[in-house]
A and B are shown apart, each in its own frame.
Chain A
Amino acid sequence: MVSAKTNLKGRAVYVVDGGRTPFLRAMGPPGSFHASDLAVQAGRHLLARQPFEPDALDEVILGCVASGPNEANIARIVALRLGCGEQVPAWTVQRNCASAMQSLDCAATNIASGRSDLVLAGGTEAMSRHPILLNDQMVTWLAGWNKARSATSTMQHLAHLRPAYVKPIITLLCGLSDPVVGLSMGQTAEELAWKFNISREEMDSYAAQSHQRLAAAQAAGHLSEIESLYAPDGTLYTTDEGLRTDTTAEKLSRLKPFFDRTVGKVTAGNSSQITDGAALLLLASSAAVKKYKLPVLGRIVDCQWAGLNPAHMGLGPVHAMAPLLQRHALSTADIDYWEINEAFAVQVLACMKAWTDSDYCREHLNQDHPFDPIDMARLNIDGGGISIGHPVGTSGTRIVLHLLNILARENAHRGIASLCIGGGQGGAILVDRQGEK
């Protein structure tokens, strides 16, 4: 039975299966895949290997921060394209970097409450295709252009066009800035470096380790959740493109600071990579597991959301994980493996410091004694956002899926997946491998 002390009141929620695309580097021209294409390619294999037809799903829930102009309510598009049929409802959620954790929470809540039995949930993001908009001056000018009727008024209007009008609004960059406190995400990371006195060397060494861990995981075949992507032109993508096998802390130390130019510490190399990708999980109630004789990968035990100062958004995981442990009376050692999304190397390192800092724990986490430190050998053991990439609307599902795979592989029991959220929030999910009884 699920503990009575959980946010997921009601029936048990099982994870049956999952899959994701390789994460593709997204700097430059639009990628080969729209966000919906990515989700379809991640989901079709997942559904094909189930014993039920896709129309047996109760709903499809996807996270996506910014879908393409023709992808409003992208979850419905994906559901229809996956052959779930007209009668399966689908909806899209947005909670910035945690959109794909929000979708899991929604799915889990609906299963726990008895609304749904079988839900496809996850996230998709094509950051290379985030829209580029016209600025207000240009839109105003175009409105006038449409009204100009005669040749003279057309010519007159043309004369009013200014070069500044064609300066586009790149929504990808807007999305990576906090609209309330006016800092870019990288600058909030610099805030944490300053607050916790974290050095450039520590960041670069953490970033190098992320690449090394991903390389080792790839070599060992630990990324079985990846389904190859096939582009229409016949190009094949089988692995995460962000990996740089030749990178070292020394090489990373040569990069220039990107956000606080010249004097900062956060670089492109010790930040997560802008990427395209999708990840999906199949969640089921005990009834559905029995009905279709589904295998159980694990159980979603609880989910927690937290808010904090937007300028310190990188500490979000700490704020979300603390109540989970407190509610379930668990200590750090009770958690076998941890996945904390690597938005920035410094942000993960700052979380580690805050977690064990008695002042921070007392002031912010309602915790008299600081938590025991998290063993770095149990955190992000196969790499993270810095090496794999961080498609914003997808990572929440990726870390839960990969955490469950790690628990299975290591024959461990319990894990926490967590991420920081732009705007000053944190989210965390507690999973275990207790099967259906």
Chain B
Amino acid sequence: MNKHWRTEQDQDGIIWLHFDQADSSTNVLTIEALDELDAQLGEIEQANPAGLIICSDKSSGFIAGADVKAFSRITETEEAKKQILQAHRIFDRVEKLACPTVAMIHGFSLGGGTELALACRYRVCCDDPTTRIGLPEVRLGIFPGFGGTVRSTQLIGHLPALNMMLTGRALSGTAARRVGLVDMSVPKRQLKVAAHHLIITKPKPHRPTWQQKLPGNGLLRPLVSHFLKKQVAKQANPAHYPAPYALIKHWTKYANNRKAMFASEAEEVAKLISSDTAQNLIRIFLLQEQLKAEGRKSDFKAKHVHVIGGGIMGGDIAAWCALQGMQVTLQDRAPEFLSQAMGRAHSLFKKKLKKPLLVRDALDRIMPDCKATGVPKADVVIEAIFEDVEAKQALYAQLEPRLKKSALLCTNTSSIPLEILNKTLKNPERLVGLHFFNPVAKMQLVEIVSANNTDQNAARQAAAFAKQIGRLPLPVKSSPGFLVNRILMPYLLEAIVLLDSGVPGSVIDQAATDFGMPMGPVELADTVGLDICLAVADKLAESLPIDVPERLRSTVSEGKLGHKSGQGFYLYTKGRAQKPAVTEGANVLPELADRMIMCMLNEAVACLREEIVLDANLLDAGVVFGTGFAPFRGGPMHYIAHEQSEIMQQRIKAFGEKADAGWTGVMDG
């Protein structure tokens, strides 16, 4: 009967309600778990205890939220609404319990989990860095639907609550205490004592100050709403991401009217959840889980990573590994080549870790190592030197005899086929491609590259390593450009062709961002570095039917390399691109976007046909996490399949006739 919840009563008559979901390492509020909670609440009402403490038995955290997998099966608005109202009823039952109630939080508490905690009279959490309390629903294209919009605004005030819900950002224990989301944030050793203390002493529950209540005033709300919309517009285009705007509207209309707000929440969230945007974002969320699963296929665990190459990529990979707790040695020819990398590592640690002691520990974990002393002790060796076959092969010849037998040998090459690089190794099968993207600290994807003769166990270990350092591994076949660069390059080159034909860069970029790309292709090329774009394009042109535009070559030879040199296709002042506002040609924007995106889609289909990745889902995941391809469109293959195929076919056909080069017409697959 009790599969997921378990109760025990202590000597003070307090009932401890433990959530320990069967067959799962994390707690998720599935329909079954919610129904069982409902039944438990019935018994608790009967028992009339001195208090109720809800806690989790999972080491990872409190509750990860509602069941996102089930979301993806909801297509009917009415069905969604029914489920939401059911959750409303159960949480209401928690809130109405006669005894004091406490949610005892450790680790993550997200979405529905946080909403359940909000239904309790008090909340305590652990003050260690693993505690993350948030309402991230907006990232899935919805907003909190289990009473979160009502209870959060009432508990901590309108603006702090809206800030949490609109950004989806999770709070640390200390931050949660500061805004009043939890009543106490204590060391782990005091967590149970604190929960017990709240039940026994029954302090007055937290309420917002009058200043915090003020923005909810009916007369001020339209003004606040205007201000909020302006803030959100900086981050999200309303055409692409309707959820935050729907939340603002919902709040503006019903804030401070509890009953109506609950009703509107059920109505609005049900509508959003069945929308394409939410379904696509949920799809991306699940794809992310699928990539993580690629990292679970081996139980390989690394402790010491040795990185060779103190440039931007090598240095940043090393810093990221140290941030994630690895012991790192970073090798280059002389200290001069490493000092900048150490400086960047320090900036990263300061930004991410904040506390001086943690920053110091991270710095102690990364050691500049010009004498390559780290090689024999390393579990993973990552080569990230310049793209030169002979230099890399010469390096491997030095490395191979010194490696630990169990060590993983990886290359961060972005353009040289693995079967060429591994040719001179004694054990060619042990070299795996571990292709990171720039900037390493932001780009979640890592391509795990295998040649035909690569040991698949080593590839699985590399994927496990990527997961260990908090990145998403995508297994790909060794082939020019692998997946991401190959799909990205035709799109960038098409943009340069457009630029050359006289379309202003700002118009091209606007067209791409209107489609949903995070950054326009012209600015992206400048950011990556035009010299690097040219090198990759030339490399790809050796084996793929692409023409490298003359404009790119000439710009590079003029010494305009993009952001880093102060001028590329744009001029940079104070590190920002000087873009004229787009006024004319707004009506041709969709057509421009089509032209560029089609290049991507075309290449995506070709990659799938050549089995660069295993299936369309992995391809979509790779392109979304590797290029930022409009997540709300669900990935390129999903876009092709769902963008009313006929229109797509027409556009492709029309495009094929118009385009002079590069179109290989493989959309029939």
Is chain B's interface secondary structure helix, strand, loop, or mixed overall? Answer: helix
A230–B342 CB distance below 8 A:
yes
B364–A230 CB distance below 8 A:
no
| Contact indicator per residue, chain B 329-373, by CB within 8 Å of chain A (1) or not (0) | 100000110111011101000000000000011011001111101
Contact of A81 with B by CB under 8 A: yes
Contact of B148 with A by CB under 8 A: no
Interface residues of B in 632-665 (CB under 8 A from A): none
* A44: chain B residues within 8 A (beta carbon): 364, 367
Contact of A174 with B by CB under 8 A: no
Shortest distance from the beta carbon of A39 to any chain B beta carbon, whole Å:
11
| Contact indicator per residue, chain A 38-78, by CB within 8 Å of chain B (1) or not (0) | 00100011001100000000000000000000000000000
- A230–B339 Cα gap in the complex (Å)? 6
Contact of B327 with A by CB under 8 A: yes
- A236–B341 Cα gap in the complex (Å)? 11
* A83: chain B residues within 8 A (beta carbon): 327, 364
* B367: chain A residues within 8 A (beta carbon): 44-45, 48
* B368: chain A residues within 8 A (beta carbon): 228, 230
Smallest CB gap from B365: residue in A: A83
How many residues on chain B are close to A (CB under 8 Å)? 23
A40–B364 CB distance below 8 A:
yes
* A45: chain B residues within 8 A (beta carbon): 367, 369, 371, 373
Contact of B240 with A by CB under 8 A: no
Interface residues of A in 227-274 (CB under 8 A from B): 228, 230-236, 238
A234–B344 CB distance below 8 A:
yes
Smallest CB gap from A51: residue in B: B376
- A83–B339 Cα gap in the complex (Å)? 22
A238–B343 CB distance below 8 A:
no
Interface residues of B in 279-308 (CB under 8 A from A): none
Shortest distance from the beta carbon of A241 to any chain B beta carbon, whole Å:
15
Shortest distance from the beta carbon of A282 to any chain B beta carbon, whole Å:
14
A232–B369 CB distance below 8 A:
no
Contact of B374 with A by CB under 8 A: yes
Shortest distance from the beta carbon of B345 to any chain A beta carbon, whole Å:
9
* A234: chain B residues within 8 A (beta carbon): 339-340, 342-344, 346
Partner of B336, one of A48, A82, A236: A236
| Contact indicator per residue, chain A 196-232, by CB within 8 Å of chain B (1) or not (0) | 0000000000000000000000000000000010111
Shortest distance from the beta carbon of B365 to any chain A beta carbon, whole Å:
9
Shortest distance from the beta carbon of B228 to any chain A beta carbon, whole Å:
39
Q: A48-B329, A48-B377 are in contact. Are A228 and B340 (CB under 8 A)?
A: no
Partner of B369, one of A48, A82, A233: A48
Partner of B338, one of A40, A48, A82, A230: A230
* A235: chain B residues within 8 A (beta carbon): 339, 343
- A40–B368 Cα gap in the complex (Å)? 13
Shortest distance from the beta carbon of B304 to any chain A beta carbon, whole Å:
10
Shortest distance from the beta carbon of B437 to any chain A beta carbon, whole Å:
23
A233–B377 CB distance below 8 A:
no
- A48–B371 Cα gap in the complex (Å)? 10
* A233: chain B residues within 8 A (beta carbon): 343, 346
Partner of B364, one of A48, A49, A81, A231: A81
* A232: chain B residues within 8 A (beta carbon): 342-343, 346, 363
A49–B339 CB distance below 8 A:
no
B339–A48 CB distance below 8 A:
no
- A48–B363 Cα gap in the complex (Å)? 15
Interface residues of B in 366-424 (CB under 8 A from A): 367-371, 373-374, 377
* B327: chain A residues within 8 A (beta carbon): 83
Shortest distance from the beta carbon of B248 to any chain A beta carbon, whole Å:
42
Shortest distance from the beta carbon of B498 to any chain A beta carbon, whole Å:
39
Smallest CB gap from A232: residue in B: B346
Partner of B339, one of A40, A81, A82, A236: A236
Smallest CB gap from A34: residue in B: B360
Shortest distance from the beta carbon of A32 to any chain B beta carbon, whole Å:
11
Shortest distance from the beta carbon of A51 to any chain B beta carbon, whole Å:
8
- A235–B370 Cα gap in the complex (Å)? 16
| Contact indicator per residue, chain A 179-203, by CB within 8 Å of chain B (1) or not (0) | 0000000000000000000000000
Interface centre among B340, B363, B364 (most CB of A within 10 A): B364
A230–B369 CB distance below 8 A:
no
A48–B373 CB distance below 8 A:
yes
Q: A83-B327, A230-B335, A236-B335 are in contact. Are A49 and B343 (CB under 8 A)?
A: no
Smallest CB gap from B374: residue in A: A48
Partner of A49, one of B335, B360, B373: B373
B371–A49 CB distance below 8 A:
yes
- A231–B360 Cα gap in the complex (Å)? 12
- A228–B364 Cα gap in the complex (Å)? 15
* A228: chain B residues within 8 A (beta carbon): 335, 368, 370
| Contact indicator per residue, chain B 496-508, by CB within 8 Å of chain A (1) or not (0) | 0000000000000
* B335: chain A residues within 8 A (beta carbon): 228, 230, 236, 238
Q: A residues engaging B (CB < 8 A)?
A: 40, 44-45, 48-49, 81-83, 228, 230-236, 238
11 A-B Cβ contacts within 8 A? A48-B329, A48-B369, A48-B373, A81-B361, A230-B339, A230-B342, A230-B368, A233-B343, A234-B343, A234-B344, A238-B335
Q: B residues engaging A (CB < 8 A)?
A: 327, 329, 335-336, 338-340, 342-344, 346, 360-361, 363-364, 367-371, 373-374, 377
> Considering the complex of A and B, which 6 residue pairs feature the smallest CB-CB distances, nearest first?
A234-B343, A236-B339, A232-B346, A228-B335, A49-B373, A230-B342
